[in-house]
Amino acid sequence: MTSQPVQSEVPFSTDPDEAESSGPSAEMREIYERSVRDIVEGDIVKGTILEIIEDAVLVDIGYKSEGLIPLREFRTPSGEVTIKVGDVVDVYLEQKEDSEGLIVLSREKAEKIKIWDELSRVYDKGGAIAGMILGRTKGGLIVDIGVRAFLPGSQVDLRPVRDLDKLIGKSFPMKIIKLNQKRGNIVLSRRELLEEERKHLKEATLAGLTDGKRIKGKVKNITEYGAFVDLGGLDGLLHITDMSWGRVGHPSELFQVGDEVEVVVLKFDRSNERVSLGYKQRLPDPWEAVEQKYPVGVKLKGKVVSLTDYGAFVELEEGIEGLVHISEMSWTQRVKHPSKVVAIGDSVEVVVLDVDRANKRISLGMRQAEPNPWNFIEERYPVGTRVEGRVRNLADFGAFLELEEGIDGLIHISDMSWTKRVRHPSEILKKGEKVEAIVLHVDKANHRISLGLKQIQQDPWQAAVPEKYRVGMDVKGKVVRTTDFGAFVELEDGVEGLLHVSELSHDRVNKPEDVVQVGQELTLKVIKLDPEERKIGLSLRAILETQGDVAGEEDGTRGRKKRRREGAEE
């Protein structure tokens, strides 16, 4: 049930006759007329809440009648009603009298007018106003500052904001840069306030900035080569080389955007407003006392932080790294790449080999942290010992035999056969084959062991050849190759003799191929025998001479017989 507006009681009559007889009625009529005259439609006036009904509020503004205002105009955004009877509120007088003779009031319009008045005042003074971001719209954000306003995306921050949604529900101080009440158009800028604030901060920062000063800032941006730190309206560059005395692969390993850091001003160019910053300079350079802390020969532990083709870098402490060259990783293994021995992050024992403080270099050795097996190699592999191993690799000059892990011996090509001329080790051995050999020599200083394969058997040149071949005897053989100075003839497997070009014929021979061919079988005479030098001299000419003498004797005998026959006939 809605209550009807209550008409105010007039303390005097408007009739002139009654007025004359009423005494004080003229004075009261003047008050009434003045109150009616002072109230103007479109004004914001004070009103007292007389009654709160179900869906309306009865308000007295001191006029001839009260006004009803919908209760919804008094509700908060959450829907609550916080007013009570007796409260004085501002209301907007829309009409002194409607068609029914009632006064028309609005609390909502009064509030909006007050807001616009306040916004105009702030706009004229260039001040700031708080606003809550309600949501996104084309080109920017919708902001609540009592009325709805527009915040362009370009005016949200000093730098473009990629994700505007993350700002929804947050409040920020903003500046009104455009206001048109008739169109209800308000444009805001947060960026202008930030720029002004940054300008003031920058002036204060510049005033107190000097080389060597420690100052706090916030990491603003990270690049490949460093980080930009906001010192307060002014950015400084913290280069990657000035972040740590140690190794830094990327600035993000140490810093993240938004980090609060204390830095040292390394160089300040006031004219260009450029600041170079340092982070590692907060601590003393660890290389200053490196020689005392890491003397040559000391054994210590470190962490592998980097690998290259030529070695591994080991961190001894923050800012101090040493290089373990690939040649200093193992006494026995042939390390082709450091990754075959260590991995980044491994903890390893090392020995300091050399310290160069001027160039900030430390040479380290891993193998020196363990006993050198080559120091006892002569006791383990004495000369003359028969050993067994697997062919690890073949080279043009010989074969490497692995005796144990990391310990190889070399069988030179000349020590593979007593009799056969070996052109390549693959003619005798195969990779991976297991063979026996004799230790011929041990070079502890150079980590070398010489082995012999042919020494497993007796040298035929010292035993069989002197007994089987003698000077003057005839032998049979096959031409296996020719040279400018003669031809080599194989007498048996592994035993060859030289048929010199001068022993090919009675006549002068320019090329051995003019007389003999490879593969041709010949009967030759042994004219020289030297087992020590492993040489047998052969002659075809001597065979030919012998054959010639025999032929001559046969011809002479036949001639004498013929002459005797002829004399007898006579």
- From CA 15, how far away is CA 541, in angstroms rounded? 178
Is 139 in the same domain as 102? no
- From CA 401, how far away is CA 381, in angstroms rounded? 14
262 in a structural domain: yes
What pLDDT sits at residue 38? 61
Is 215 in the same domain as 259? yes
Q: Which of 342, 363, 384 is the last residue of a domain?
A: 363
Is 452 in the same domain as 508? no
82 in a structural domain: yes
352 in a structural domain: yes
49 in a structural domain: yes
What pLDDT sits at residue 566? 59
Residue 518 phi, psi dihedral angles, 5° rounding? -60, 135
Rg (the chain; Cα; Å): 57
Q: Which of 336, 363, 390 is the last residue of a domain?
A: 363
**HSE (CB half, 13 Å, CA atoms) of 31?**
11
5 in a structural domain: no
Q: What angle do CA 39, 44, 50 make, to 5 degrees?
A: 85
Runs of H (alpha helix) within 81-136 = 107-125
Is 21 in the same domain as 99? yes
- From CA 338, how far away is CA 309, in angstroms rounded? 7
Residue 165 belongs to domain with CATH number: 2.40.50.140
217 in a structural domain: yes
Is 442 in the same domain as 395? yes
- pLDDT tens-place string over residues 542-564: 988 887 665 555 555 455 555 55
Is 27 in the same domain as 96? yes
4 in a structural domain: no
- Which domain, by its residues, includes 276? 209-282
What pLDDT sits at residue 329? 92
Is 134 in the same domain as 188? yes
CB atoms within 10 A of CB 474: 11
What pLDDT sits at residue 13? 41
What pLDDT sits at residue 308? 93
**HSE (CB half, 13 Å, CA atoms) of 18?**
7
What pLDDT sits at residue 524? 93
**HSE (CB half, 13 Å, CA atoms) of 564?**
6
CB atoms within 10 A of CB 67: 24
Number of domains comprising the chain: 6
User: Nearest to residue 477, comparing CAs of 459, 461, 462, 498?
Assistant: 498
Q: Which of 54, 77, 107 is the last residue of a domain?
A: 107
Is 98 in the same domain as 29? yes
What pLDDT sits at residue 21? 42
553 in a structural domain: no
Flag residues of the chain having pLDDT under 70.
1-39, 42, 98-101, 463, 494, 548-570
Is 347 in the same domain as 266? no
- From CA 145, how far away is CA 74, in angstroms rounded? 18
User: Nearest to residue 60, comparing CAs of 37, 40, 86?
Assistant: 86
What pLDDT sits at residue 25? 55
- From CA 334, how far away is CA 315, in angstroms rounded? 24
- From CA 242, how far away is CA 248, in angstroms rounded? 10
Is 302 in the same domain as 275? no
What pLDDT sits at residue 1? 36
Dihedral sign (CA 72, 74, 78, 79): negative
Is 448 in the same domain as 396? yes
Pairing of strands 299-308, 311-317: antiparallel
Is 246 in the same domain as 296? no
